[in-house]
Chains A and B, each alone.
Chain A
Amino acid sequence: MNRTAAQVHGWLLLLPTAVLLAAFTHYPAGATLWHSFFSTPKPNRPAVFSGLDNYRAMAEDPVFWQSLANNLWFALGTIPVSIALALLMAIWINGRLRGRAFLRLAFFTPTVLPMIAVANIWLFFYTPQYGLLEQLTGLFGLPNHNWLGSNETALGCLIVVTVWKEAGFFMIFYLAALQAVSPNLYEAARIEGAGPWTIFRRITFPLLMPTTLFVLVNAVINSFRLVDHIVVMTRGGPDNATSLLLYYIYDVGFKFWDSAYAAALTMVLLVILGATAVLQFGFLEKRIHYR
């Protein structure tokens, strides 16, 4: 009897969150899957079951494939660099250093700014001829370049903005983790005659692994979730060179009003994110030892 009461108690405690999750995460995901098997309803043409038609159209849609490829490059460009930078900055300002508070603030500022504002600032950095970047390269006598207006450089420019925006945020987590590492470990290592590199490799980095996993999960999600700067800076152009998956979903859903096809595209995004979550929590977590 007592056990049943405890069970009910537990479920009651979980209920509010469970309801919210079901209403705003699980139901929409399920509904999206359901709708992706139908045609887009129009006033004079109600939705009809169309099986895998939306997915077949997707397989033949060059913009979808390009957006997917762009997104993988975007993820590959932003995740390792922003994590490495975050770790580097955290270690640097964790040491005894004059003006430490100022540095911490400076590194964290990009995180506080809204992405739309950031993108507008960077838009003028990249402006051809008189933008900040052009003035710098001009000093070295390099030729003019239309950074956001060329197929080759546009995506790279967006990656730089994203790294700049995210590294400071991840740094905060590393900083907190670094301050939790016991100084005894470092003292012991130094007595044993370990150099700074060995200390980092054998003590600091392994102890930071839980943080790295957390940061990695966030970085992966963000690389598929952040599209605000694309809206401001390139609108997916030139010729879809900066179109990311989520941006394309927005285009299809809210510009073309093809909600069924947008649902099919969303399923791809869900599968990608789901697969990375399984990989990260199932595989990587086993190799990390928590204290």
Chain B
Amino acid sequence: MLKRLALAMLAAGSLFAVQAGAQTEISFYYPVAVGGPITKIIDGYAAAFEKENPGVKVKPIYSGTYQESIVKALTANKAGDPPVLSVLLSTDMYSLIDEDAIVAWDELLKTDSDKAWHKSFFPGFMENSQTGGKTWGIPFQRSTIVAYWNKEAFKEAGLDPNKAPASWNEMVEFGKKLTKKDASGNVAQWGVQVPSSGFPYWLFQAFTTQNNVVLMNKDGTQTYYDNPAVIEALQYWVDLSKKHNIMKPGIIEWGTTPKDFFERKVAIMWTTTGNLTNVRSNAKFDFGVAMLPSGKRPGTPTGGGNFYLFKKSTPQQREAAMRFAKWMTSPERAAQWGIDTGYVAARADAWDTPEMKKYVQGFPQAAVARDQLQYAVAELSTHDNQRVTKALNDGLQAALTGSKTPEAAMKDAQREAERILKPYRK
């Protein structure tokens, strides 16, 4: 009995070995961060790719939120069995390099078409994907921050419904007209809402970029949280509620911000372009999508996820993974992905495809994010990223809830970031 079992196992083992020799299997982790049937779309892509590329088997594995995905990927890496390919936050680049978990894409780019593919993405998205002269991430599900405004509310307030605030001063001026109180003195509708829960640093980076200052250096070893222009940007954000009374005081929840907008509790909201499809299907009023207002200049950080290639993989797997990533980011696929989800199609030629042209014609709001890209900067990312970012997040929330002044909050955050980053400077 035992002998027979052992024989059967041996047979099964050799069968498996034969199959593995003929086919290259690439496992692929992906997170879901926006609404919609993402899992179905990804499975469809994988199946279509397998049909065009016999010999490669793609195994897509849904891995939760971005945070859960990086935990799973890095834990699997430590256990010696990471995925071959994974979509993770572009800002996790330094952490993945420090853990020695990923390889750069450069060595895989052999043909001219490979090299052209590599250069086809918007430069704004490549900033978070390259360091030390190498490319570690391939832009896939990328986004920026845009402003959504309620045209009906603008009309009621006597404003031009087709004109969003274009400057910091205009945002305050419009906001004052848009903030409405009910009979008992409670605010029924706020002018502006910039969410500050969870990852306030991302939205704050829009203010700092507009104030023409950067938060970190290119090597990810230095932050500039206590730069006077950074403090000034924070003062503007704090003043929206403290001085001008046009934004809800306290910490504003990211998750319920679109709902606040649908319920007409706020006239202008800042959120990701990834919410575009959500707003389009749920707003019961005419709405507009605009670039964020300018301070000294227009600006927004980019956000979202890149493809990373894990180090513990065979040469065949890496080659197949490159082909898959290239196929997934081809102009047609990038266009379709953008239309299905609201993410910004990450390359210029995707916007020239017939499907995308038709989509933008019927829904011009979709092109705002693309047009804003020329002003976009890299999202805050450093070595020991999450810890350095937390220092900033804590400082921002302290200033927004009024427990510290903007200046004290940013000085504390900078001191903490200095302490963490010192070992990374050589």
Contact = CB atoms under 8 A, between A and B. Distances in A.
B410 to A, nearest CB: 13
A269 to B, nearest CB: 20
Contacts of B260: 127, 129-130
A163 to B, nearest CB: 22
A238 B100 contact: no
A254 interface: yes
Contacts of A237: 197-198, 251, 393, 397
Interface in B182-230: 184-188, 196-198
Interface stretch (B29-37, B301-309, B383-391): B383-391
A256 interface: yes
Interface string A234-269: 110111100000000001001111100000000000
Interface stretch (B5-13, B145-153, B346-354, B398-406): B398-406
A128 B403 CA distance: 20
Contacts, number: 92
Contacts of B400: 238
Nearest to B100: A43
Contacts of A257: 74, 95, 99
A238 B397 contact: yes
Contact of B197 (A150, A235, A256): A235
Interface string B255-283: 11001100101000000000000000000
Given A148-B251, A149-B197, A251-B390, A238 B74 contact: no
Range class of the B interface residue count? 35 or more
B253 interface: yes
Contacts of A128: 248, 250
B401 A239 contact: yes
B319 interface: no
A44 interface: yes
Contact of B401 (A141, A151, A251): A151
A42 interface: yes
Contact of B265 (A43, A130, A148): A130
Contact of B263 (A130, A143, A239): A130
A254 B71 contact: yes
Contacts of B99: 42-43, 257
Contacts of B251: 146, 148-150, 237-238
B114 interface: no
Contact of B250 (A63, A150, A235): A150
Interface string B74-100: 100000000000000000000100111
B231 to A, nearest CB: 17
Report whether over half of chain A's contact residues are helix, strand or loop; otherwise say mixed: loop
B25 interface: no
A94 B181 CA distance: 49
Nearest to B182: A138
Contact of A144 (B95, B187, B393, B397): B187
B252 interface: yes
B394 interface: yes
A158 interface: no
B249 interface: yes
A151 B399 CA distance: 11
Nearest to B68: A254
Contacts of B186: 138, 143-144
A123 interface: yes
B67 interface: yes
Interface string A90-129: 0000000000000000000000000000000001100111
Interface of B: 67, 71, 74, 95, 98-100, 184-188, 196-198, 248-253, 255-256, 259-260, 263, 265, 384, 386-387, 390, 393-395, 397-398, 400-401, 403
25 contacts: A42-B99, A43-B99, A43-B100, A128-B250, A129-B188, A143-B186, A144-B248, A146-B251, A148-B251, A148-B253, A149-B248, A149-B253, A150-B251, A237-B197, A238-B197, A238-B398, A238-B400, A239-B397, A239-B401, A239-B403, A251-B390, A254-B71, A255-B386, A256-B390, A257-B95
6 residue pairs, one from A and one from B, having the closest CB atoms? A149-B250, A146-B250, A149-B251, A43-B100, A239-B397, A238-B397
Given A237-B397, A239-B394, 13 more contacts: A42-B99, A124-B256, A127-B253, A127-B256, A130-B265, A144-B186, A149-B197, A150-B401, A151-B401, A238-B250, A238-B398, A239-B395, A256-B390
